[in-house]
Chain A
Amino acid sequence: MISYGQHQFPGKLFVVEGTDGSGKSTQMALLYQWLKAEGYPVFFSEWNSSPLVKDTTRRAKKRHLFTPATFSLLHATDFADRTERDIIPPLKAGAIVLADRYIYTAFARDVARGCDRHWVRDVYSFAVKPTMAFFFRAPLNVAIDRIVSGRPSLKYYEAGLDAGWSDDPEESFTIFQGKILEEYDRMVAEFGLTVIDASRSIERQQREMRMLIGPHLNRKKRVRLN
């Protein structure tokens, strides 16, 4: 088993991270369009998207079957399937892989829920170390406003209601997001995350990302698409 930081692939892996509502998915979509237009082979991999695990996760969320430990392990299962299926093969083939949320999401959420910091990192130690990981940092109130105003109601696990901090979904969500942000901040130095100020304009953030990614791209890897 090859551990974090030890994989050697010709491809490049870029990931976006951040609290809900930080605008990272928007930035990822723009990056994807740009790389495609430039002629690079690009693959996109999203958090919680393994077809093998999907039904189990959906059922567990609906029926509130998770504990912090099983929430963590099932998400790790999902991530392992993505790693084995969607991430490692294209990287070996020299492609660019974009991941919307990566292991840092698990580290932030699971630790916020009460899992041991070292244990969660050990579980995910098989993950490929990204070429660059962007952390979209938005002030807590901005992120919360974006989510709460955009949705009719917060979901049970999304709001962290399982942790029992508060019975009020909005209050629980605020506490949860605060803890998550704390974990992200701690990970900036630990994993060398690239912080993007998510309170600036979409265009400016995108320009900054493209500038940072540029030096990692190998123009010879471009493929002509008809």
Chain B
Amino acid sequence: MQFYGTPLPGVEQESYSGKLIVIEGTDGVGRSTHTALLRTWLESRGHAVLDTGMTRSILAGRGIKEAKTGHTLGRLTMQLFYATDFIDRLENEMLPKLRAGFVVLTDRYIYSAIARAEVRGIDSTWIRSTYGMALVPDAIFYLRIGTAQQLVERLLSSGRGFDYWESGMDLHLGEDFYDSFIEYQTRMLKVFDRMTGEYGFHALNASRSVRSVAADLRKAVMRVLDESGPAAEDNVSVIQPLRDKAGPSKPSTNLIDLNKKVLP
């Protein structure tokens, strides 16, 4: 068990038998899709999986969502609220499951939080020290996309539209959500690129089809789990659990065909 900085207080530091796997990337890059696909695939191979992600903590999730609706969240306050959410999930979800031998899949980890803080001019040493209690994961997959324009295309095709925080509107970077989004996400991409070496991200080109990204991810995850054999077959249909709502251990029966492109 290895921490980035100061270890969690009161936690026994013996090693765990599970694996901590992180899926990182900017907004709209397909993290949720790939987390969900990986989960089902891992479960079909007999692994117990916990999937988690930002603002899903019992302690702080609701509070963050409420604070974000009001757009009154200050820069430092936001970072610390997210850190609270993260540590609550680390202590109460991730760590117990890792000890129980689960594969813990996390949609974003501390890197998104650090990138958001840095783009907002917050001291990079401070934010790293605050998140020093984070466990060093077994693997970090960074779904990388080249430009903010490509993210916009994805955003439009998903029908989600522009979100206040994903567009960095609190930073007043542009005339409107579009301009702001481009500037904000461009800055985020730059920080992620810088962190790739710092934290040893395994970068995957996410501008390809869902199928080929998923196939690469499976191969890489198999290496992390020390498994061999055919990783990702073509023409396999997979069961995709519903995002967020599925609950910790209830796979749904939402069939999608990987040969069809989910995103253009």
**How far, in whole Å, are A69 and B6 apart by their CA atoms in the complex?**
11
Q: Does A74 contact B (CB under 8 A)?
A: yes
Cβ–Cβ contact A67 & B6, under 8 A: no
Report chain B residues within 8 Å CB of A60. Answer: 59
Within 8 A of A (CB), among B65-90: 66-67, 70, 72-77, 79-81, 83-84, 87-88
**How far, in whole Å, are A68 and B10 apart by their CA atoms in the complex?**
8
Cβ–Cβ contact A56 & B62, under 8 A: yes
**How far, in whole Å, are A52 and B88 apart by their CA atoms in the complex?**
18
Q: Which of A26-34, A36-44, A81-89, A215-223 contacts B (4 or more CB under 8 A)?
A: A81-89
Cβ–Cβ contact A77 & B130, under 8 A: no
Q: Does A199 contact B (CB under 8 A)?
A: no
**How far, in whole Å, are A76 and B79 apart by their CA atoms in the complex?**
10
Chain B interface extent, by class:
35 or more
With CB as the reference atom, state the residue of chain B lying closest to A60: B59
Partner of A81, one of B58, B77, B130: B77
Cβ–Cβ contact B130 & A69, under 8 A: no
Distance in Å: Cβ of A174 to nearest Cβ of chain B: 21
Partner of B129, one of A70, A76, A84, A122: A122
> Besides the contacts A53-B63, A65-B59, what 16 more A-B pairs have beta carbons closer than 8 Å?
A52-B81, A55-B66, A56-B62, A65-B88, A66-B59, A67-B9, A67-B10, A68-B10, A70-B59, A70-B88, A70-B91, A81-B74, A113-B9, A114-B10, A116-B6, A116-B9
**How far, in whole Å, are A55 and B84 apart by their CA atoms in the complex?**
14
Cβ–Cβ contact A123 & B130, under 8 A: yes
Report chain A residues within 8 Å CB of B77. Answer: 50, 52-53, 77, 80-81, 84
Chain A: residues with Cβ within 8 Å of the partner, total of 33
Distance in Å: Cβ of B136 to nearest Cβ of chain A: 17
**How far, in whole Å, are A73 and B66 apart by their CA atoms in the complex?**
18
Q: Does B137 contact A (CB under 8 A)?
A: no
Q: Does B123 contact A (CB under 8 A)?
A: yes
Distance in Å: Cβ of A77 to nearest Cβ of chain B: 4
Distance in Å: Cβ of A45 to nearest Cβ of chain B: 14
30 contacts between A and B (CB under 8 A): A1-B126, A52-B72, A52-B73, A53-B63, A53-B67, A53-B77, A56-B59, A56-B62, A65-B58, A65-B59, A65-B88, A67-B91, A67-B92, A69-B8, A69-B9, A76-B80, A77-B84, A80-B74, A80-B76, A80-B77, A83-B76, A84-B75, A113-B9, A114-B10, A115-B9, A116-B9, A118-B6, A119-B132, A123-B80, A126-B126
Distance in Å: Cβ of B124 to nearest Cβ of chain A: 9
Q: Does B161 contact A (CB under 8 A)?
A: no
Most buried by B among A3, A70, A76, A122: A70
Report chain A residues within 8 Å CB of B126. Answer: 1, 122, 125-126
- Using an 8 Å CB-CB cutoff, how does the interface string of A119-140 with B read, 1 for contact, 0 for none? 1001101100000000000000
Distance in Å: Cβ of B51 to nearest Cβ of chain A: 21
- Using an 8 Å CB-CB cutoff, how does the interface string of B1-38 with A read, 1 for contact, 0 for none? 00001101110000000000000000000000000000
Distance in Å: Cβ of A183 to nearest Cβ of chain B: 14
Report chain B residues within 8 Å CB of A119. Answer: 5-6, 129, 132-133
Cβ–Cβ contact B121 & A1, under 8 A: yes
Q: Does B60 contact A (CB under 8 A)?
A: yes
Distance in Å: Cβ of B82 to nearest Cβ of chain A: 9
Report chain A residues within 8 Å CB of B81. Answer: 52-53, 77
**How far, in whole Å, are A67 and B9 apart by their CA atoms in the complex?**
9
**How far, in whole Å, are A74 and B80 apart by their CA atoms in the complex?**
7
**How far, in whole Å, are A50 and B130 apart by their CA atoms in the complex?**
20
Q: Does B232 contact A (CB under 8 A)?
A: no
Nearest 8 A-B pairs (CB), nearest first?
Answer: A84-B74, A56-B63, A77-B80, A1-B123, A80-B76, A73-B84, A119-B6, A114-B9
Report chain A residues within 8 Å CB of B84. Answer: 70, 73-74, 77
Report chain B residues within 8 Å CB of A113. Answer: 9
**How far, in whole Å, are A60 and B57 apart by their CA atoms in the complex?**
12
**How far, in whole Å, are A122 and B83 apart by their CA atoms in the complex?**
14
